[in-house]
Each structure stands twice: as structure tokens, then as C-alpha cells.
A and B are shown apart, each in its own frame.
Chain A
Amino acid sequence: MTYLITQTLNGLFSAALLFLIASGLTLAFGVMKIVNIAHGSFYMLGVYIAYTVILRTQSLLLGAAAAIVVVSALGFVMQRFFLRRFGNDPLAQMMMTMGFALLFRDATLMIWGGDPFTLQYPGWLRGSMEAGDVVFPYYRLFVIVVAALVGVALWAINEKTLLGARLRATVDDPEMASAMGINVTLLSGLVFAAGAGLAAFGGVMGGPILGGYAGLDFDLLPLAFVVVIVGGMGSLKGAFVGSLVVGMIDNYGKALVPELSYFTLFAPMILVLALKPTGLYGRA
């Protein structure tokens, strides 16, 4: 029982990180139909930028803020000046994001070297919660709560605000959205930037546990894609449910049959695709 609860909590922690990464990936896909291979790089850059700023300033908050701002800006520039040029050619866009991903990987190696590190825990989140036999670090609990709050905030923006309505209109029919006065290009850039910022924030949140190392970007990318594909490309709700499914399966899979960890991860994806090609909440 203790084992079950602990593994479930660990699964929730993975799901929380995955959601922070995958929500931006799925939003960008919904609005622009961009399959962004560089999305894992945004997470990685978030960790590294936060690391540098925290080293200099000793402020976790400043580190997080810098990571989000810098990576969002990077995402905006990437969309505005590069991806947008291939607006109706998904393959060209994907190849371009692949190029960016490799560029970011090499730049990271050049600037920071390849040595692994972890971010500091915030002081007030050291230690573990103990309930009976279950021991669970406060920090992981904190990440779960934060991701849940981010999820609620994204849902509220998407469903309850005018900006959200504009976003959904653009996902429904970008051409009509522009005819109804929406600057689709600008909105797309902002969504892409917000997605990049979310991934960077995910990096900061995951930093004390997963840390930063060479190859982090491409370790996370397949997981994020499985989440988005299982949940349905473009669906926020899908990213939420997909994160839970993948987080749990990945955790239990690795705990129970570690030698099959890629099988346990991709099997559910193939199953979902076989039964519902658009993913759980995707649209045709």
C-alpha cells in the first residue's frame, strides 16, 4: 500500500512536469499546426538560464523569471522571423524546428559545458511530508500543486476570457479569425512564446530533481510528444489527461519492468492511435 501511494505520488510529479511541457507544445500545434522539435530545448534552456542567474544572484525567483522571459522571447523571435515564413508547409516548419533544436543543443554545450548539475531547492521546501509509512518530499508536492494551478489558469484563460475565445476561433478557422479582426500572426507568435515560456518554467520546476545535463532536451521530447499525441494534438484537456496517463505509466513501468520502459511508454500511444487516430480529445 505504501509502495502504491508513493509510486502514485511520483507518477503525479512526472505528470506535473509533463503537463508544463506538453501544454505549450499542444497549444502551439493547435494554433499553428507546428510540430515543434525544439520544444524540449525550451525546457533545457530554462534550466540552464535559471542555473546561471541563481548562481549570480542567489535568487530562485529571479532565476525563474529570467528563464521564462528569455525563453519566451526566443520563442517569439523564432516564430516571428523564421517559422512564419513557412506558414503552410508543415514539413519545412518541422525541419526548421529540428535545426533550432540542434543549434540550441550545441550552444548549450558551448556556453555551459556538458557537466550535469541540479538547481537548489527553495529553502522553505526542504524536507519531506510523512503520513504513516508514506514519505514524500515537499518539493515534489509543491510542483504537483503548481502544475495543477497552471492547468486551472490555462483552462480559465482558454474557456472564460476573450483572449481564449480568440484563440479557439483561430484554432477552429484561422482564415475566418483573421477576417473577424484577429491578428492571427501576432496571436500565433504570442502563443508560441507562451508555450516556450511554460516549458522553461517546467525546466525550473524540474531543475532541483532532474537538473540539467547534455541530452536533457531530447530525453524529454519523446515523452512530451507521447502526451500530446495520446491527449489529442491541440487539446489542452488532452494534454492534462495525457500527462496523467503517461506520467503514471512511465513511473509504474520503470518501477515494475524497467527493462521495458520504452515499450510501456509507447504501447499505450499506439493503442490510443489505433482506436482513436486523433487522440483522446483531438479533433479530426
Chain B
Amino acid sequence: MLQITDLHTYYGESHVLQGVTLAAARGTVTAVLGRNGVGKTTLCRSIAGLTPARAGAVVFDGNDITRTPPYRIHDLGISLVPQGRRIFPSLTVQENMAIAVNTTRSQGWDLQKVFAVFPRLAERRQNRGNELSGGEQQMLAIARALVARPTFLILDEPTEGLSPMLVAEVAGVIRRLKDEGTSILLAEQNAAFAVKVADYVHVMSKGVVVHSTDPVALWQNEEVKTQLLGVPAAVSPPNTRPGT
């Protein structure tokens, strides 16, 4: 579905992605893990077209989208839930979603379904983006991505700054989307969360993927956990339910 080959991305002279290669299979949740600053967000931005790679290729459903502009990538079916939510502050909840709606794909989410699944957003539909709590903003950022009816969803740190209850809600949404057939790329620092929802995980360090495995194997690999993910050795394994 999505094939990334030897991707090199720069910010000016700063060489951030130094040859990332990974694939995300259709209908699966692929996690990209790693400490702060390893290049997860840059990878998401390169896929979405916001910081196009200088070398390498991003191929989506057979189309080379490496240098396609972001609005066209969005139309092709890739939606981004950016780190930090990036809700439009002067737009209402409803408008935040309305501008992203795409009906070229006949099946999928619309505002009605969003309001049914996220009743909180229905209550707040006339509130402006800057009047929402962090949790509401995160739900809106996800909803805004969904109304574009993506076949591929990029979630960049969706649990950052959320309460445990909301983290559980995000996990529920991810599982639901996966059941609906949406393919997902999940960039997370929170490895304990990611291994619960992911089918496959890639660990990044300094702009490259250094370790790829399934979530259970990852969680049993103390070396990777402590050195690359910053998980203290003492943390006990979560209820790992890969792929559920």
C-alpha cells in the first residue's frame, strides 16, 4: 500500500532522514517508534508532502507521490493527524472538518458519523478551534482526517499530552478504523501504547530505521527497549494484544 525507499529529507542543510526504508501493508497498523528527535515527524511530513524528500521514493498504491503537493496527496486518500493537532483556531469544529471533506470515495466517514462517534464534538460543533480542550482538539484532529475518507491514515503522536482515559479512547478509535479497513501509520514515542495497537513496528534512531519486528518481540527485547525507546527496564509488559 505504502512503500518508502531510501528516503532522504532535509530541513535546509540539516540532513534529518538519512535513508528510511519501510513498507506499510494494507489494512494494518504500522508503528514507527523512537525517541524524541529521531525523525518520526519528519517522516510523516515527507509522506504527506509537507517536507518533500530530496532523494528516495514514497510510492502509494502504485503512484510515486514523493514530490506530489500535499493537497493532491490528501485527495489520493492519505490523511494526516499532525503532531500538536494543528486545529484551525478561527474555524468552528464543524468548519474544521468541512474544509477537509472529500466525497470522491463513496464509502466512509462523514460529519454525521463523526458526531455519532464523538458526541463531545457534536456538542461543541459551533465552538471555535481555540476554545477546545487538548483532548477535544485531538479528537477533532482525528475526525478532520477521517472525513476526507482516507484509505491511509497517518497519526503523529496522537496520545501526546492526553489523560489515560483519552489514550484508551484513541486506542479504541485506531482499532475501529483498522476493522473498517483503513491502513494506519502510527508515529509514537509512547512505545507501551504503540505495541498494544500495532501489527508491526519499526524503531528509528538518528534518521534511519534500525529495528523492525512484531510488537511482542519488540517488547521482549530489553536492549532495544532501553537503548532506543527509553523504556526503563523495570516497566512490566502491557497487555499486549497485537493487532486487535
Show the binding face of A for B, using Cβ within 8 Å: 162, 165-166, 168-169, 171-173, 175-185
Which stretch in B96-104, B195-203, B213-221 binds the other chain? B96-104
Select from chain A the residue with minimum beta-carbon distance to B86.
Answer: A176
8 Å CB contact of A181 from B50, B74, B86, B89: B74
CB pair A179 B70 closer than 8 Å: yes
Q: Check B144 against A165 for contact (C-beta < 8 Å).
A: no
Contact B100 A181 (CB under 8 A): yes
Partner-A contacts on B (CB < 8 A): 48-50, 69-71, 74-75, 80, 82, 86, 88-91, 95-96, 98-100, 102, 144, 148
B50 surroundings in chain A (CB, below 8 A): 175, 178-179
Q: A162-B99, A165-B98 are in contact. Are A178 and B70 (CB under 8 A)?
A: yes
Q: Are A172's CB and B69's CB within 8 A?
A: no
Q: Are B90 and A180 in contact (CB under 8 A)?
A: no
Task: State whether B82 touches A168 (Cβ < 8 A).
Answer: no
Do the beta carbons of B99 and A183 come within 8 Å of each other? Answer: no
Instruction: Chain B residues near A181: list those with CB within 8 A.
Output: 71, 74-75, 99-100, 102, 148
Q: Which residues of B contact A184 (CB under 8 A)?
A: 71
Give chain B residues whose Cβ lies under 8 Å from the Cβ of A183.
69, 71
- Which residues of the other chain, A, contact B102 by a CB distance below 8 angstroms? 181
A183 CA / B74 CA spacing, docked (Å): 10
Check if B99 sits within 8 Å of A180, measured CB to CB. yes
Assess the B71–A178 pair: CB atoms within 8 A. yes
Residue among B88, B98, B100 making CB contact with A173, cutoff 8 Å:
B88
Please name the 9 residue pairs, one residue from A and one from B, whose CB atoms are nearest each other, closest first: A181-B74, A165-B95, A180-B100, A178-B70, A172-B88, A176-B86, A169-B88, A183-B71, A179-B70
> Given the complex of chains A and B, what is the CA–CA distance between A183 and B82 in angstroms?
18
Cα A113 to Cα B48 with chains together (Å): 53
- Which of A172, A180, A182, A185 has most chain B Cβ within 10 Å? A180
Which of A166, A169, A175 has the most chain B CB within a 10 Å cutoff?
A: A169
> A172 to B75, Cβ gap below 8 A?
no
Which residues from B are CB-within-8-Å of A169?
88, 91, 95-96, 99
Task: Point out which of B71, B86, B90, B144 has the most chain A C-beta atoms below 10 A from its C-beta.
Answer: B71
In the complex, are the beta carbons of A182 and B88 less than 8 A apart?
A: no
**Which residue of A162, A176, A180 contacts B148 across the interface (Cβ within 8 Å)?**
A180
Residue of A nearest to B100 (CB): A180
Q: Could you say which of A166, A171, A185 contacts B99, with CB atoms under 8 Å apart?
A: A166
Closest to A164 in B: B95
Apart from A179-B74, A181-B74, what 20 extra A-B contacts exist at CB < 8 Å?
A: A162-B99, A165-B91, A165-B99, A168-B90, A168-B95, A169-B96, A173-B86, A175-B50, A177-B88, A177-B99, A178-B71, A179-B70, A179-B80, A180-B71, A180-B148, A181-B71, A181-B100, A181-B102, A183-B71, A185-B69
Q: Which residue of A lies closest to B84 (CB)?
A: A176
A183 to B80 alpha-carbon distance, docked (Å): 16
B72 to A: closest C-beta gap in Å: 8
Known A-B contacts A180-B148, A181-B100, A181-B102; A168 and B71 likewise in contact (beta carbons under 8 Å)? no
Q: A178-B69, A179-B82, A180-B144 are in contact. Are A172 and B89 (CB under 8 A)?
A: yes
User: Closest Cβ of chain B: how far from A268's Cβ, in Å?
Assistant: 27
- Complex-state Cα separation, A192 to B82, whole angstroms: 29
- B51: nearest chain-A partner, CB-CB: A175
Residues of A with C-beta under 8 A to B91 = 165, 168-169, 172
For A166, the chain B residues whose CB sits under 8 A away are: 99
Is the pair B99, A172 in contact by a Cβ cutoff of 8 Å?
A: no
| Bound Cα distance from A173 to B100, whole angstroms | 14
Given the complex, which residues of A lie within 8 Å of B69, measured CB to CB? Answer: 178, 183, 185
- Say whether, besides A162-B98, A165-B98, A169-B99, A179 and B48 are in contact (CB < 8 Å): yes
Bound Cα distance from A100 to B196, whole angstroms: 59
Q: What's the Cα separation between A39 and B19 when bound, in Å? A: 47
Q: How far is the CB of A55 from chain B (nearest CB, A)?
A: 44
B132, chain A: closest CB distance, angstroms? 14
> Which chain B residues border A185 with CB–CB below 8 Å?
69
Give bound CA distance, A177 to B49, whole Å: 12
Q: List 26 A-B contacts (CB under 8 A).
A: A162-B99, A165-B91, A168-B90, A168-B91, A168-B95, A169-B88, A171-B90, A172-B88, A173-B86, A175-B70, A176-B88, A177-B88, A178-B49, A178-B50, A179-B70, A179-B71, A179-B74, A180-B74, A180-B99, A181-B75, A181-B100, A181-B148, A182-B71, A182-B99, A183-B71, A185-B69
Bound complex: CA A165 to CA B101 (Å)? 12
B145 nearest CB across to chain A (Å): 8
Give the CA-CA distance A48 to B39 in the complex, in Å: 56
Q: Nearest chain B CB to A31's CB is how many angstroms away? A: 13
Whether the pair B144, A172 counts as a contact (CB closer than 8 A) is no
Least CB separation from A181: chain B residue:
B74
With both chains docked as a complex, state the minimum distance between the C-beta of A198 and any C-beta of chain B, in angstroms. Answer: 22
Residues of B within 8 A of A162 (CB): 98-99
